[in-house]
Amino acid sequence: MSSAETFAQAGLEVVPTGAALGAEVRGVDLRRLAEVEFAAVLDAWHTHAVLLFRGQSLTPDNLIGFSRRFGGLDHAPVQEHGQSIVAGRPELYIVSNVLDDAGKPIGSLGNGEAVWHTDMSYLPRPPKASMLYALEIPPVGGDTHFASMYAAYDSLPPALRARAQGLMVKHDGTYNSGGFVRAGVTPTDDPRTAPGHLHPLVCRHPETGRSMLYLGRRRMAYIDGLSLPESEALLDELWSYATQPALCWKNAWRVGDLVLWDNRCTMHRRDPFDAAARRVMHRTQVKGEAPPMA
């Protein structure tokens, strides 16, 4: 069956953003998704890499339930001030700048910019998918931007593409995307010895078969086997292609939005927002079935 037929049969509408990635899926309630609808969502996700579902009304258990349809869930990453999770639900990661009555953050990443990254790629087997659900959003700022790593790979000049092939890149586990040191990590200035994991710089997506750049995050990255200056220069050159505006799409959040992204072939970043405003989001991460592979 073609994608159009699958969507029509499922009674849902998939509206591409018109950018290099992303589509809005209309006509679904993620609390009760029939098998035929889920099959259509999966199909759209593989095609567009990032899906936006507006107007959802999800309890933590609803979010976990929808997330589990994609596979087992990873526990939330340990963050700057220890684990920030919903009590009894270690899979739920709270992204928030809000402080509780004792002045302790209820979540991670604060109100500053979160720089470009792939979630938890410093692990040997990073999550294949992440979802972010908006409970409270600031009136201005806090938009989340996504970049297609397929398009990044395709945009490389042939010589640079050939150079990247076969190289391994270290994904740093020292800093989170908000610039905070992860709990329990002693920072070092040397990316070669920092905690993290090596993955192929050019990977093949296990479902679509497409090639993509797999960069993770810029800070403390290192290309294995190169001198530090050579590694820095090559990374700078690759990054100058990876996040060009033409490869990106952003979501200006509304309460009730759920965004699902393919963590294997995208990166994302978040705009800063006013510290006095409240932003509360719940995130889940679906386990990767295999390590990223060339």
Distance CA 289, CA 294 (A): 15
DSSP 287: P
| E strand residue ranges, 33-88 | 50-53, 85-86
Size of the site for ligand SIN (CB under 6 A): 11
Residue 55: both structure tokens together: 């107007």
Distance CA 109, CA 133 (A): 15
| Binding letters toward ligand SIN, positions 160-199, x by CB under 6 A | -----------------x----------------------
Query: Given CA atoms 265, 269, 270, 271 in this order, what sign does their dihedral have?
Result: negative
Q: Which of 10, 92, 95, 202 binds ligand SIN (CB under 6 A)?
A: 95
In the window 126-165, what residues touch ligand SIN (CB under 6 A)? 132, 144
| Binding letters toward ligand SIN, positions 257-286, x by CB under 6 A | -----------x-x----------x-x---
Closer to ligand SIN at the Cβ: 23 or 132? 132
Distances (CA, A) of 66 to 72, 86, 258: 11, 17, 11
Closer to ligand SIN at the Cβ: 10 or 260? 260
Strands 129-136 and 280-286: antiparallel
| E strand residue ranges, 11-81 | 13-16, 23-26, 50-53
In the window 7-66, what residues touch ligand SIN (CB under 6 A)? none
Residue 286 CB, shortest distance to ligand SIN, in Å, is: 13
Residue 181 CB, shortest distance to ligand SIN, in Å, is: 16
Residues contacting residue 162 through CB under 8 Å, at least 6 positions apart:
none
Closer to ligand SIN at the Cβ: 182 or 268? 268
Residue 114 binds ligand SIN, judged by CB under 6 A: yes
Residues interacting with ligand SIN, by CB under 6 A?
95, 109, 114, 119, 132, 144, 177, 268, 270, 281, 283
